[in-house]
Structure 1
Amino acid sequence: MSDSKELGVLEEEQVRSSSIRFFARDLGSHQTRGLKSFAGCLGRSPLVLLFLAFMLLAVLLVTIVVQVSKLPSSLGQEQSKQEKMYQELTQLKAAVDHLCRPCPWDWTFFQGNCYFFSYSQRNWHDSITACRDVGAQLVVVKGEEEQNFLQLQSSRRKRFSWIGMSDLTHEGTWQWVDGSPLPPSLTKHWNSGEPNNIGEEDCVEIFSQGWNDHRCDIAKFWICKRSAASYSSEEVCFPSSAPAAPTQSAE
């Protein structure tokens, strides 16, 4: 009986010892595999990070390429819009130029001024009044180009016309209606032998060849001058579809 108990205790201890060894071996085996797995992950981490970095760089490059590819298209569209606007403005300006004039229809534009060549005749003093009635002045010649323009217009119209010069204030001293003296540089425009003051010729007319002094009470055509910029904003655009009939005050 005593021997049986001792045998049973011995077997139980052997089983327990065997179980403990098996558990310890199994635990060691699991720990070893875990460590190896963890070490493997650590070994692969740089490759994973490198792959992720590569993917991020690729996405960034693709984004940049897409944006850059859109840039020429946007610039082209903007340039196309600007060209279209310029063409429209050019067409509009041409239309306005066709419909409008810087001066009334019965006036002639030259170098920023409007000139009226009368259709009827008056004496020199009444010609001054006629020009004043339309906000202008009996023409005062300021330079060579203007003088050439007036002579050309007089030649085309085949008219002798009053200009705003006389020696009524002092005989032999020629001055313009605005009070300014006749510049020496313009005295060459007197016709040959003029001024000769035959029969109290104190006022000046212009024709195709130049100037001539004549009696102020003789009726002649006349020329008015007004700055184109002097017209108010409401008068800037004068229709060019049909000429306006000359007013009585301008004749």
Structure 2
Amino acid sequence: MLTVSLLVCAIVALTRAADECPTDWKMFNGRCFLFNPLQLHWADAQESCMKEGANLASIHSLEESTFVKELTSADLIPSWIGGTDCQVSTRWFWMDSTSMDYADWCAAQPDTTLTECCIQMNVGIGKCWNDTPCTHLHSSICAKPLK
């Protein structure tokens, strides 16, 4: 009986761990998000996320956008998210391969400037999105699914 009890406790503990985000990550809608305050180029920010088993964040709803903005509320500078059109101008996609089914562009954005092909958020009224050169230095938001 003791062996069965220990086995059940171990299974419950493993199941609970699988439903939680790692330390310092915040859960929203089945994904874990992490704000990284380090000022990095977009590619370096994506690489930093990948080292954590994540990508720069994709955003799929107003609610998710609001959540991500709250993660960065103390940050007064723009933050990278995972959208890019560097391969083909005006063909935006997320680094995590999900569909771009939501957008929060600032007025007159994206402006299709060929040198501006990465998305920064936290600019303008309402912390909207702007396409900007990927070589700028910004904080970033990583996201990954719960394991």
User: What's the TM-score, normalizing by structure 1?
Assistant: 0.46
Deviation at 1:110, TM superposition (A): 1.8
Confirm or deny: 8 A CA contact 1:151 1:210 kept in the other structure: no
The structure showing larger relative contact order (alpha-carbon pairs under 8 Å, at least 6 residues apart) is: 2
Residue 193 of structure 1 is matched in structure 2 by 108
- Give the one of 11, 32, 45 matched to 1:127: 45
Deviation at 1:111, TM superposition (A): 2.3
**Structure 2: runs of 5+ lacking an equivalent:** 1-15
- Structure 1, unmatched stretches of 5+, are 1-96, 231-251
| Equivalent residues of 2:81, 2:121 under 8 A apart | yes
How many residues are paired up? 127
Q: Cα deviation per residue 1:76-133 (whole Å; 9 max; x = unaligned)? A: xxxxxxxxxxxxxxxxxxxxx9xxx922332222222211100211111111111110
Secondary structure of the structure 2 residue equivalent to 1:125 = helix
Pair 142,197 (structure 1): closer, same or farther in 2 beyond 3 Å: same
More helix per residue: 1 or 2?
1
Task: Return the letter of the residue paired with 2:82.
Answer: G
Superimposed CA distance per residue, residues 45-95 of structure 1 (whole angstroms, 9 cap, x where no aligned partner): xxxxxxxxxxxxxxxxxxxxxxxxxxxxxxxxxxxxxxxxxxxxxxxxxxx
Distance change >3 Å, CA 112–CA 179, structure 1 → 2: closer
Question: Aligned-pair distance for 1:172?
Answer: 1.2
Distance in 1 separating the partners of 2:72 and 2:46: 18
Q: Distance in 2 between matches of 1:141 and 1:155?
A: 16
> Distance in 2 between the 1:213 and 1:175 partners?
13
> Is residue 89–residue 112 contact of structure 2 (8 Å, CA) maintained in 1?
no
1: CA distance, partners of 2:110 / 2:72 = 19
Q: Which amino acid aligns with 2:120?
A: E
Percent identity reads 29
State yes or no: 1:114 paired with 2:32.
yes
CA root-mean-square deviation = 2.2
Among 66, 90, 105, the residue aligned to 1:148: 66
| Counterpart residue number, 1:93 | none
Whole-angstrom distance in 2 between the partners of 1:109 and 1:176: 19
> 1:202 and 2:117 equivalent?
yes
Aligned to 1:158: 76
